[in-house]
Structure 1
């Protein structure tokens, strides 16, 4: 049985409010108040545990339309249906606004709209490419070893690219989708946009369709519009990087596991392919690594890719336990 909590709210309502607040932007500021409440009694801790279990039970059900374990089911027409993205977080956020409007504020409630990141992020494993359907009609295709956090609120749409690469097909809504990545933010509505975040913290964004704009921390008061078919990159400090043509990090057909280049150094192409590889491809000869190649390559299939490169460049593939080595014949 749910016990009464502070004021007009039950203990479970207060626990659900804390669950949302500690996944929102004010979490750090509210940490002390939350810890004091959580450690105040065993009943508080148990109510918070119930709220977490409820959130987990309503978490996003993941499925894939391209790669991964669900691919075979998709071909047979048995793709699992999704719960709305962040359905649990949405329900709890609405609860906070609804019951907070008629009485004393809930813990940590400071007015304004409520938004919080969903309990479970969208993630892919190495070698996996997966498309996630969002309840607002948008979709997010995550490349290998990528993570996207999804936040929901009463008057906002927001995602955060934590690592890897994403293609967002953004449905048109009254409010744009905010896309946080590195030290900047993109905004798009009724558009398709690719973003990548590399290990150095550099973000590359390319607009495929529609309209979008980018704002970085280094120049927060300056908005840079993206042109369709054009790319923009900014560094880990938020400063814009010089334009240098189409970015190798965002080939047009990467959601299908393919990459097409007019000209690219072999070592850079192999580095792209190794993002998918369980056993990496290695080039020890600097002269081979510096060779330029062009064409369309299925970089998500490591061994066939290595064999094709070997055939094109008159090399051989030496298979060892630690790697596939490209060597001279």
Structure 2
């Protein structure tokens, strides 16, 4: 387990949780025990990870709270859980880039790894196909660990954004993100973490339930069945109906496409620059204040810059620091 690569005690605990349930457990045992002894916070974080992980397993299989329960009812969580997501890891079928046409076959049971951590570099979207059916898409600079077990995969989102495409999968899937758990079967949904310990969830199809681990001492926050097309924002135990803002449809972001309404050019350019080798530069702030609507390929900065130049009668100049948009 690479302790230096983890940015927090919680990530280290998640990494050790994965390692000690994988094929390297025996050879890493001494290092793991030394890590536990080094700091009481290490032991506390590891215990929290294990507790939340076990709760996700019980919740999903529960007749009262699991996915087999009657739709439309609410989940009431009465135990306070730490605001740290759990981790275990996943065996993966394949990793593909945006231009890759197919998926490699899943290895045999004898060769498949017990656990793996999934991570994407900056500017890159990748799709991981799961052996039980469906796929997991990670946005740029995202990180997740998934564990394949009974009765189905458990995914921990540690950073960034993911889209789960569970269509065609016979198994239920549990996602832990921030201080929340989302359970789904045969659904397509986005889950994203922000810089304020908040989690955004949007269901595009199928069925999913969400509930917070963290509970206030004064009241219990109920879980909620997600409605298709109605995003939720979850933070510190609160479930809030999120506003769409300029977003019309982002379901196709794994392919680099999104539909926006009255989005400021400065915001659209900011989105595109997250994926751009050569960024777009707006020479005049007034250009960025203009708005545009439509369906955009945000991961092709060069085409986007030229399309915007045509729409707004701008000039594109390529320089060392980027593609400059300026008035003619």
Instruction: Bin the TM-score by the shorter chain.
Output: 0.5 to 0.7
Aligned equivalent of 1:63: 95
Gaps of 5+ in 1: 1-16, 25-29, 39-57, 90-117
Q: Per-residue CA shift, 1:219-262, capped at 9, x if unaligned?
A: 47510111112211224x34334531367396122121111112
Q: Per-residue CA shift, 1:264-300, capped at 9, x if unaligned?
A: 1112211211121122222353322121110111111
Which structure has the higher relative contact order (CA within 8 Å, separation 6+)?
2
Q: How many residues align?
A: 251
SS of the residue aligned with 1:297? Answer: strand
8 Å contact kept, 2:163–2:189: yes
- Across the aligned residues of Structure 1 and Structure 2, the Cα RMSD in angstroms comes to 3.6
8 Å contact kept, 1:204–1:249: no
Tell me by how many angstroms 1:176 deviates.
Answer: 2.8
Aligned equivalent of 2:247: 248
Tell me by how many angstroms 1:146 deviates.
Answer: 2.2
Match runs of 1:145-156 below 5 Å: 145-156=141-152
8 Å contact kept, 1:181–1:197: yes
Bigger Cα Rg = 1
Tell me by how many angstroms 1:22 deviates.
Answer: 11
Moved more, 277-286 or 166-175: 166-175
SS of the residue aligned with 1:272? Answer: helix
Change (3 A) 1:124 1:239: same
Moved more, 134-143 or 278-287: 278-287
Match runs of 1:37-76 below 5 Å: 60=92, 62-64=94-96, 66-67=98-99, 71=100, 74=101
Q: Per-residue CA shift, 1:39-94, capped at 9, x if unaligned?
A: xxxxxxxxxxxxxxxxxxx9646331633xxx2xx3xx6x42233799432xxxxx
Change (3 A) 1:175 1:65: same
Answering whether residue 188 of structure 2 is matched by residue 188 of structure 1, we say no
Change (3 A) 1:321 1:223: same
Q: Distance in 1 between matches of 2:226 and 2:117?
A: 27
Aligned equivalent of 2:40: none
Change (3 A) 1:207 1:35: same
Tell me by how many angstroms 1:179 deviates.
Answer: 0.7
8 Å contact kept, 1:136–1:171: no
Match runs of 1:37-186 below 5 Å: 60=92, 62-64=94-96, 66-67=98-99, 71=100, 74=101, 79-83=103-107, 87-89=112-114, 118=115, 120-170=116-166, 176-186=172-182
Match runs of 1:174-323 below 5 Å: 176-219=172-215, 221-235=221-235, 237-245=236-244, 248=247, 251-323=250-322
